[in-house]
């Protein structure tokens, strides 16, 4: 009986060391050596070197001078600790009312935009944290962003197209634009957004408006 217990104990210790210590250390070491940026969370820094988010996790932007992501059903919105969708189906009245309300708001904020509001701008992703929108959804927002920043729409469109990411490995997914990195590129090229007409204090450049 004692020998059986000792054998089981030794097997447990060896398994613990192999799978709980050596294997994680080996994987971590390989990841840090081959792709340290991704292994450390794909963190993104602004022009002043401050970490402002991750390229893999979406966050909300509401100021008119910034491109907006898809809606989020993660927690109270873009909560990385509560990733998830709304679980509302296409026949849900609540989903339809929310989509109509969001579409009306987007149209009011961007009256010069061409065509209807892209569907992805009024529907949340399955994770609620999708950091990307399609190039079409980003280009639809150009008139609002250009007006808020006081720059020519053509210049903003050019910047958007320069930020388009291709399909992964050339075949997976669709072309997309990372909203966070696009907004940071806007600040780098055009500076912070213009202050509201009634405000004598310049609005600082930066990210999300809560």
The 10s digit of each residue's pLDDT in 7-48 is: 888 889 889 888 988 888 888 888 888 878 778 888 888 878
CB-based burial of residue 137 (10 Å sphere; 0-12 exposed, 13-18 middle, 19+ buried)?
Answer: buried
- CA distance linking residue 201 with residue 208, whole number of Å: 18
pLDDT by residue (tens digit) across 90-142? 889 999 999 999 999 999 999 999 899 999 999 999 999 999 999 999 999 99
Mean pLDDT over residues 147-165, rounded? Answer: 96
- CA distance linking residue 41 with residue 44, whole number of Å: 9
Q: Any idea where the domains of the chain sit in the sequence?
A: 1-40, 41-190
Q: Give yes or no for a contact between 17 and 9, defined as CB atoms under 8 angstroms apart.
A: no
Q: CA torsion 113→119→123→129, rounded to 10°?
A: -70
| pLDDT band per the 50, 70, 90 thresholds, residue 187 | very high
Q: Give yes or no for a contact between 167 and 174, defined as CB atoms under 8 angstroms apart.
A: yes
Would you say residue 193 has pLDDT above 50?
Answer: yes
Q: pTM of the prediction?
A: 0.79
Q: What is the pLDDT of residue 118?
A: 95
């Amino acid at each position: 009986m004692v020998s059986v217990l000792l054998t089981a104990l030794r097997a447990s210790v060896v398994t613990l060391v192999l799978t709980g210590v050596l294997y994680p250390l080996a994987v971590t070491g390989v990841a840090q050596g081959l792709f340290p940026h991704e292994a450390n969370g794909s963190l993104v820094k602004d022009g002043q070197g401050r970490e402002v988010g991750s390229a893999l996790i979406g966050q909300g932007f509401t100021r008119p001078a910034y491109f907006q992501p898809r809606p989020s059903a993660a927690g109270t919105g873009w909560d990385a600790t509560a990733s998830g969708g709304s679980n509302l189906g296409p026949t849900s009245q609540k989903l339809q009312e929310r989509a109509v309300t969001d579409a009306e708001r987007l149209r009011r904020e961007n009256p010069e935009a061409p065509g209807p509001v892209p569907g992805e701008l009024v529907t949340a992703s399955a994770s609620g944290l999708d950091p990307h929108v399609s190039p079409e959804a980003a280009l639809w927002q150009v008139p609002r962003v250009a007006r808020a920043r006081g720059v020519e729409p053509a210049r903003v469109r050019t910047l958007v197209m320069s930020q388009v990411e291709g399909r992964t490995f050339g075949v997976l997914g669709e072309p997309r634009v990372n909203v966070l990195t696009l907004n940071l590129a806007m600040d780098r090229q055009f500076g912070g957004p213009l202050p509201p007409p009634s405000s004598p204090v310049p609005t600082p450049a930066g990210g999300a408006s809560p």
